Structure 1
Amino acid sequence: MSADFVKYPETNYFTSLILDYLSEKDELKELYNRFPRIENFDSQIEEKKKSYNNKIRKDLVEVLQDQYSGITVSEATKANIDSLSSEETYTVVTGHQLNLFTGPLYFLYKIVSTINLTKKLKKQFPTKNFVPIYWMATEDHDFEEINFFNLNGKKFKWNNADDKAGMTAVGNLSTEGLDEVFKLFSAEIGGGENAEYLKKLFERGYLQHDNLTDATRFIANEIFGKYGLVIIAAGDKRLKKHFVPFAKNELTRQISFQETSKAVGKLNELDYNVQVNPREINLFYLDHEIRERIIGKEDKYFVNDTEISWTKDEILKELEDHPERFSPNVMMRPLYQEVILPNLCYIGGGGELAYWLELKSYFEAEKVTFPMLLLRNSALLQTEKQNTKRERLNISLQELFLKQHELINRKVRKISNIDIDFSPQKEHLVEQFQGMYELAEKTDESFLGAVKAQEVKQLKGLENLEKRLLKAQKRKLKDEVERIAELQNDLFPNRSLQERQTNFSEFYVEYGEDLISKLMEELDPLESNFKILTFGK
């Protein structure tokens, strides 16, 4: 296997906000605590040590031990769970939805980044323990976002018959109906040792577990358990009770709305797109039937689209008695996570980091340490054959990331035996018209508009001629164009990043456990580049 990289700005797939964050632009520094460099973790550890409530550790360990009962737990994971009892143990967290069969490839990259960072921290701080955590988004309710995965260009979709799908927390959903997906998946994946492993993994995960939470835990544990990954479903009452004071503040004082609105204003001022706009109350009410947002109005509280309502005193009593029924939304979940975990760093994709950058002042108002924010690793997986084809076509790694029409036009110009770049002619035309502008100003300024119209017309004529010649050359170089398009379509399915489209099974069936072990070897969470990994065959 070989590894190369492309710098994030060269991929054209990352927002200006994330690129500016990675370059530590001064204007953004007030929106985060410390930048994730290994030398900054010492201060982060000290700050978290002072602010974290160590009484939570007992409940945390008990909940995790209960959640792991009934499945095979590796020695590494068991040791990590036990170590959470110690005040010298800290966590690194990534979160992810309960996507069917892990969803797209970046699920793996998130977890590999998390595990590898804990290894680096242990080497840097050998007297402390660092536990990689996968926080399952069990209380999410976006069923349509998680009910499919893509394999070999085909979409495998779970048509859940549960009337509550999309209405309540997805973690509670029955796995009914996944036997049909299993049949289709088994037929597609074919035979061989790796294919049989994947079939068994799917079958044991979804057909031998009753709900999506347990199924997802089983699968993630099977893939990453030996590396010590700890998987948590945080909806347990024993954990939610520690969040009661913060949920109370949300209901009575709307702190998150007040504080995050400041950050949203700052981001708007800097012309960045805002990822999430806060609501006045960022809590949902949750039971087995519904997960709906709580709305405050005239000293009363209502659950949206239901007849459930409370007075202020009633809802606060409900919160004290049943904290597990109060579910934080995307703006509050990060705070909940950082309250119950001794966490140092959150690892996520660009979209996740974008909304975390709205939250620092909210954390400060609630006196909770804001974690470091680390962009997860990104990678493109290719075969040696694909890499050889790229080299023969004389396409650079950076050019692979161009839009397809840009890539083809560039290559056609490069390999064509005639020059189809009219830039010199356009420049010459602009220079000629500059003289006409000067003449019009000296004679009759009313002619300036006519001169401008003529300039636009002639430039457009040159552009059209250039496009027609390019089109003719593409026809002439049809085979070359088709090879370029085919290669890019293979590596960028649906004209998107492979990691956002393709399921890990497409590569696991070919490379087996080597896929995971090579990712563990090659993905450095503190290396800020987009990796290109070339596998044999």
Structure 2
Amino acid sequence: MNIVPEPLSLASQLAHDYLHHFERVSGFYGEDYRGEQGYAERARWLDLSEDKRVSRKALTDCLRMYNTKHNDHPAVHKSLQLLEQPGTLTMVGGQQSGLFTGPLLVVYKAMTVIQAARDAEERLNRAVVPVFWIAGEDHDWDEANHTYFLSQDQKLSKIKLEAKDGLRTSVSYTDVAEEDWSEMLKELQNQLADSEFKADLLKLARETFNESANLSEAFAKFMSRMFGKYGLILLDSADPALRELEVSVFESLITRNESLGLSYHQAARDIAGLGYEVQADVSENGANLFYLHEGRRLLLYREGRMFTDRKGLVSLTDEELLRDLNQHPERFSNNVLTRPIMQDSLLPVLGTILGPGEISYWAITRYAFTDLGLQMPLIIPRMSFSIVDETISKLMGRYRLSFNDVQHRLSEKREAWLASKDELNLEARFDQTRKQFEELYQPLIEDLGRMQMGLLKLGQTNKNKILGQMDYLLTKSRNALELQHKAALAQWNRIEQTLLPEGKPQERVYNILEYMNRYGMNLVDRLMEIPYEASGIHRVVYV
């Protein structure tokens, strides 16, 4: 593998400034992850704040039950043994459950969690274990139930798992029937090109589905197959056993709800005041908590002392909500703004691994951490890659395209290349013909208008029709030119579909199984050998 740094454009200016101009945005974050001091200060605070988190023993017992069922590797049990010991810290990253693990960035995030934990161990000379937070409590089924592959005719192909009941409940609570898993396996078989690795991939998927009751369990088992050997602990945020440990944290989120809401709003105003886009919805009177009611996951709002949802399906006082919490903790879950608080209340989080969008919305939580007597962990950017095979590399060389060209100027470069193949000089000749025609025809129309006023309008209409026909012929001529170079333009399309599908970075679209099918079942292990880079820089991997 040849690894080349190639920056990706970030949609978020706040994330860009966090990575490149930390001094501009330091007020929205904790310690700077660059340099030794930030690590040492965060570790020191964690040592002094053990009482602010749930019992290590209870948490580890809970995680051991979950991982024994879904992630049963000796290296994972070793990580759990370490986590149980006072002084062990964690490096945490997470993502919602995704079909076949979802887009490549999920794999890259897990890789970063593991490598960042190793790096922190060397920096601090103490145990740091990797933890992956599966956001199984999320209810956005349409965001989790699909993934993309590159079809053999170089088109984007979507595999989608349909939900049966249509309820807006947590992904981890949405059962998947055996026939639906069979359909997904059939779709995968049809999608993957024939290769020496295809049979093993289908076997992996079949075994995973046979052992899984829902999408989150399948996600966990896929992640286990790839990363269990590296000691990556898995945590499902919707695990009922975990929810029982979180009762005291939810109590704080409820009793201090109004104060927390003000903290989120103040941060959002300060972010906007500096000219940045606020990356998450900070709703007026939002409680930033979800409540499970008759199978539906409802977002709660405060109305005086009452907690209710937008449709009025539930309406509870704070006392009633707290009583229900103690009796039925499984009914409660976090939203995007309270999840960071919950994560820090469960685990001794040295650092959290985030993508650019997450870096931006975490800024909204800065004051809320302080309000609860907590400190924001180190925020470490996940590693970012694009995989380029030999064929694509050669095509880019043939058309003299850099990765930056593909990202920013591909259409412009393609048009310029096609124009260079235009031996008839169509654009210029049609343009010249139009000008000459207008120069000859316009005076005639004006003379006719002086002869009879109606002829001026008729002549102008006639001229526009002729010009329209010229444009039509030019379009047909362009189409003929494109048809003449159809094979070459298909290669341009292949470059685009491989590296920038639908205008998005490869890592945000395609699935890891697509690449394992091409390059082998050990692809993730080979990617794990890429040197750790904490700067967040995107790198192109030439395979």
The answer to whether the superposition gives a TM-score over 0.5 is yes
- 2:48 corresponds to which letter in structure 1? K
- Does the 8 Å contact 1:416/1:473 carry over to 2? no
Other-structure match for 1:145:
143
- Does the 8 Å contact 2:71/2:234 carry over to 1? no
Counting only pairs closer than 5 Å after superposition, residues 105-120 of structure 1 correspond to structure 2 as 105-120=104-119
Matched-pair identity in %: 25
The TM-score, its normalising length taken from structure 1, stands at: 0.83
Instruction: Give unpaired runs (5+ residues) of structure 2.
Output: 151-155, 429-470
Other-structure match for 2:44:
46
Other-structure match for 1:85:
84
Q: Which moved more, 1:334-343 or 1:475-484?
A: 475-484
Query: For the residues of structure 2 that align with 1:60 and 1:150, how far apart are their CA atoms?
Result: 36
Are 1:61 and 2:60 matched, yes or no? Answer: yes
Other-structure match for 2:444:
none
- Does the 8 Å contact 2:70/2:217 carry over to 1? no
Other-structure match for 1:235:
238
> 1:183 Cα shift?
1.4
**Residues 34-65 of structure 1 deviation map (CA, whole Å, 9 limit, x = unaligned):** 22225121111111221233652111111011
- Does the 8 Å contact 1:91/1:132 carry over to 2? yes
Are 1:226 and 2:232 matched, yes or no? Answer: no
Query: For the residues of structure 2 that align with 1:414 and 1:12, how far apart are their CA atoms?
Result: 29
Other-structure match for 1:489:
497
> 1:417 Cα shift?
10
Query: For the residues of structure 2 that align with 1:220 and 1:306, how far apart are their CA atoms?
Result: 39
- Does the 8 Å contact 1:179/1:207 carry over to 2? no
Q: Give the SS at the match of 1:358.
A: helix
**Residues 131-187 of structure 1 deviation map (CA, whole Å, 9 limit, x = unaligned):** 1111011110000001111122311111121343xx111111112122112112123
Are 1:394 and 2:400 matched, yes or no? Answer: yes
**Residues 368-391 of structure 1 deviation map (CA, whole Å, 9 limit, x = unaligned):** 121111221111101122112212
> 1:99 Cα shift?
0.7
Other-structure match for 2:330:
324
- Does the 8 Å contact 1:147/1:158 carry over to 2? yes
Query: For the residues of structure 1 that align with 2:530 and 2:351, how far apart are their CA atoms?
Result: 21
Query: For the residues of structure 1 that align with 2:33 and 2:10, how far apart are their CA atoms?
Result: 21
Counting only pairs closer than 5 Å after superposition, residues 142-291 of structure 1 correspond to structure 2 as 142-152=140-150, 153-164=156-167, 167-176=168-177, 177-189=180-192, 191-236=194-239, 239-241=242-244, 243-253=246-256, 254-279=258-283, 280-286=286-292, 289-291=295-297
- Does the 8 Å contact 1:92/1:343 carry over to 2? yes
Other-structure match for 2:525:
517
- Does the 8 Å contact 1:104/1:501 carry over to 2? yes
**Residues 429-453 of structure 1 deviation map (CA, whole Å, 9 limit, x = unaligned):** xxxxxxxxxxxxxxxxxxxxxxxxx
Other-structure match for 1:342:
348
- Does the 8 Å contact 1:59/1:238 carry over to 2? no
Other-structure match for 2:23:
26
Counting only pairs closer than 5 Å after superposition, residues 308-387 of structure 1 correspond to structure 2 as 308-387=314-393
Query: For the residues of structure 2 that align with 1:292 and 1:212, how far apart are their CA atoms?
Result: 21
**Residues 321-363 of structure 1 deviation map (CA, whole Å, 9 limit, x = unaligned):** 3333221111101100111001111112111111101111110
**Residues 458-478 of structure 1 deviation map (CA, whole Å, 9 limit, x = unaligned):** xxxxxxx9xx99x97994995
Identify which of 8, 12, 15 aligns with 1:15.
Answer: 12
Q: Give the SS at the match of 1:155.
A: strand
Q: Give the SS at the match of 1:359.
A: helix
Other-structure match for 1:302:
308
- 2:199 corresponds to which letter in structure 1? E
Query: For the residues of structure 2 that align with 1:34 and 1:416, how far apart are their CA atoms?
Result: 58
Q: Give the SS at the match of 1:277.
A: coil
Who wins on radius of gyration, i.e. which is larger? 2
